[in-house]
Amino acid sequence: EERFTRKKHDARFPKNAILYNLTEGKIPLEKLDYIVFYEKPLVTFERLLETYLAYAPQGFRSFVNAMSAWLQEKLYLKTVLKKELAKLANCKTSQLPPLLFTEHHQSHAASAFFPSPFEQAAVLCFDGVGEWATTSLWLGNNNELTPQWEINFPHSLGLLYTAFTYYTGFKVNSGEYKLMGLAPYGEPKYVDLIFENLIDLKDDGTFRLNMKYFNYATGLTMTNKKFSQLFGAPPRKPENKLTQKQMNIAASIQKVTEEVVLKLANTAHQELGVNYLCLAGGVALNCVANGRILRESKFKDIWIQPAAGDAGGAIGAALAIWHQYLEKPRFGQVKSQPTLPSQEGKSEVKSYQQIKLDGMQGTYLGPQFSNEEINRYLDDIRVKYLVLDQEELVEKVAQIIAQGNVVGWFQGRMEFGPRALGHRSIIGDPRNEKMQSVMNLKIKYRESFRPFAPSVLAERVGDYFELDQPSPYMLLVAPVKEELRLPMTEEQKQLFGIEKLKVPRSKIPAITHVDYSARVQTVHPETNPRYYQLIKKFEKLTGCGVLVNTSFNVRGEPIVCTPEDAYRCFMRTEMDYLVMENYLLAKYEQPQWQKDQSWKTEFELD
């Protein structure tokens, strides 16, 4: 919905997204068999009441605030949904299809298992909180999904991580990925302090939090004074400079999170005895932890829902009804997972058969725009452009990137989920030492410490990274190969904190984080042929089969959806070129843009 309204995390009724789906599916709303909502509001209401009663009279103000929202809207969600849907369909509520509700973690589990390429798998879900569950284990088998056990609120790995997001001065339910990106700049000095005071972790990965330090169950903030005393300072104000202490805290909570998820994964393997693992829930977007599960757990392979957060709950809710309630079979399972050698014969990567047959289709599920539509828009606004056929286009753009330019790349269906995967991306040359700071400060207008991700040819992934399998959804972090790393001088080794950023770490410095890691996206000809061709052409030109890839937006703005969004973002930033399908636009040929600073007030910075 945010992509249509241009309002980040838009919580309003998603009428634009619904209308897009119905139009694309060529079906009127009243002709659907069922409408499903991804959680059960009455059970969540019960949790709020029980939590208040357990902590009363503490938290009365927070309870009153929550209740007003519930009594006005959420408690009557079924009525609200029916009213909005009927308005959308221009029909009576009695004419609507039946409205069903799945449980929150059931939606996550279904979104992780049913689109996966596995016939049988363990499914781990971890997030802030659903109705009651915060962590749950499931067994997926063909079209069945069976719950095994769960950990309940207030004991939550997601909320623990969010508490530290809040404490280090980032936005709750939005800035968690920044905390993960900040962690490599610090030393994990507070790990023991966290384990001794905040979380009681058992060998099997189950845990309890010490609620004396947290405010989220009853208050309006995540942490309390006792938490601040433990770490020797109040929470950082967002406008204040990041210090080494915050970096050390980020490194510490990241390490704790990895320990918990690794233990949970090993328990899942031990209890269920299956070879494969699926992940969903907001914590499954922690790609550093995912990388460790892949490398260190006993599972042969893992698959992560690309929209692992609550957005993916919509897919999960629909799939849960389709397979569990209606007992429909799954299709397109993968029986064999062969390997193919890389171009250089140095490494082996599983062939794309496995990923091709996952149910997410590369997660390219959103709106697309034809050359005719793009032509109409560009002619309407009277700007200069070049039209090229596909072969000419990739040749020209590869040259442009090799010359150090930054390109807005807009093609095909928009990605579903939080990552831009080569359809709504800003791309550049990873060999360029200045590329990270140029993209961060002049194009994304965001914090300089944040790393960028590589898009790599699938068959070449093992030549650049310590990774021997596909990662099409950019949800695995892997180390850059030793032989590509640059040796550091003694002086450089002494640098700490943000100073580490100034040192190029590898032959592809723009995508190498300060700990020599990278959040990898493998690009496959089967799901993204044009982007694959571009990287292939860039490799032919430069010998490098990797591009820098970041989402096509400025800080605080949703990823672009339409040609108009793309052109506006292109003109507001210092991007050099824009590609929209077969149209190539050069910045120096464009008319002066009048509203170049307006986005700073238009978008609330994340």
- Written as one letter, the residue type at 449 is F
Same domain? For 261 and 375 the reply is: no
CB 506 within 8 A of CB 557: no
Same domain? For 259 and 400 the reply is: no
- The C-alpha torsion from 191 through 192 and 196 to 199, rounded to 10°, is 20
Better pLDDT: 71 or 105: 105
Same domain? For 464 and 496 the reply is: yes
Q: State the pLDDT at residue 336.
A: 37
Confidence of residue 57 (pLDDT cuts 50, 70, 90): low
**Mean predicted confidence (pLDDT) in 250-261:** 98
Q: State the pLDDT at residue 348.
A: 52
Q: Does residue 75 register a pLDDT over 80?
A: no
Q: What is the CATH number of the domain that holds 540?
A: 3.90.870.20
Query: Is 274 domain-assigned?
Result: yes
Same domain? For 129 and 56 the reply is: no
Q: Which residue, chain included where needed, has tokens 């010490």?
A: 210
Q: Give the DSSP H or E segment for 547.
A: strand 546-551
Report the Cα 60 to chain-centroid distance in Å: 35
Q: State the pLDDT at residue 489.
A: 85
Query: Is 163 domain-assigned?
Result: yes
Same domain? For 489 and 429 the reply is: yes
Same domain? For 445 and 588 the reply is: yes
Q: Which residue, chain included where needed, has tokens 């005895």?
A: 273
Query: Is 555 domain-assigned?
Result: yes
Confidence of residue 70 (pLDDT cuts 50, 70, 90): low
Q: What is the CATH number of the domain that holds 297?
A: 3.30.420.40
Q: State the pLDDT at residue 340.
A: 42
Same domain? For 180 and 306 the reply is: yes
Same domain? For 49 and 120 the reply is: no
E strands present in 333-484? 339-341, 348-350, 386-387, 407-410, 424-428, 453-457, 476-479
**Mean predicted confidence (pLDDT) in 241-256:** 97
Domain span at residue 308?
Answer: 105-333
CB 412 within 8 A of CB 527: no
CB 263 within 8 A of CB 256: no
pLDDT, one tens digit per residue, over 431-468 is: 999 998 889 888 888 777 888 999 999 999 999 999 99
Same domain? For 75 and 109 the reply is: no
Task: Give the residue ranges of DSSP H helices in 221-370.
Answer: 225-231, 244-272, 287-296, 313-320, 353-356
CB 603 within 8 A of CB 172: no
Query: Is 210 domain-assigned?
Result: yes
Contacts of residues 598-603 at CB distance under 8 Å and 24 or more positions apart, as own/partner, are 598/572, 599/554, 599/556, 599/557, 599/572, 600/445, 602/557, 603/8, 603/554, 603/555, 603/556, 603/557
Q: State the pLDDT at residue 279.
A: 98
The last residue of a domain, from among 73, 101, 129: 101
The last residue of a domain, from among 101, 127, 150: 101
- Written as one letter, the residue type at 82 is K
Burial per residue of 21-49, b for 16 or more beta-carbon CB atoms within 10 angstroms, e otherwise:
ebeeeeeebeebeebbbbbbbeebbebbe
Q: Does residue 584 register a pLDDT over 70?
A: yes
Question: Cα separation of 206 and 452, whole Å?
Answer: 33
Mean pLDDT of the chain: 91
**Eight-state DSSP code of residue 310:** G
Same domain? For 80 and 109 the reply is: no
Query: Is 351 domain-assigned?
Result: no
386-387 and 453-457 beta bridge pairing: unpaired
Same domain? For 374 and 519 the reply is: yes
Q: Which of 43-47, 165-169, 174-178, 494-498 is most confident?
A: 165-169
Q: Which residue, chain included where needed, has tokens 């993209």?
A: 439
Query: Is 347 domain-assigned?
Result: no
Query: Is 341 domain-assigned?
Result: no
Same domain? For 91 and 163 the reply is: no
Structure tokens belonging to residue 212:
């004396």
Q: State the pLDDT at residue 339.
A: 39
C-alpha angle with apex 546: 560 to 521, nearest 5 degrees? 55
3-state DSSP assignment of residue 193 = helix
Question: Cα separation of 253 and 446, whole Å?
Answer: 23
The last residue of a domain, from among 310, 333, 356: 333
Query: Is 364 domain-assigned?
Result: no
Give how far Cα 170 sits from Cα of 93, 184, 239, 390, 534, Å.
Answer: 42, 17, 10, 42, 36
Q: Does residue 343 register a pLDDT over 50?
A: no
Question: Into how many domains does the chain fold?
Answer: 3
pLDDT, one tens digit per residue, over 133-162 is: 999 999 999 999 999 999 999 999 999 999
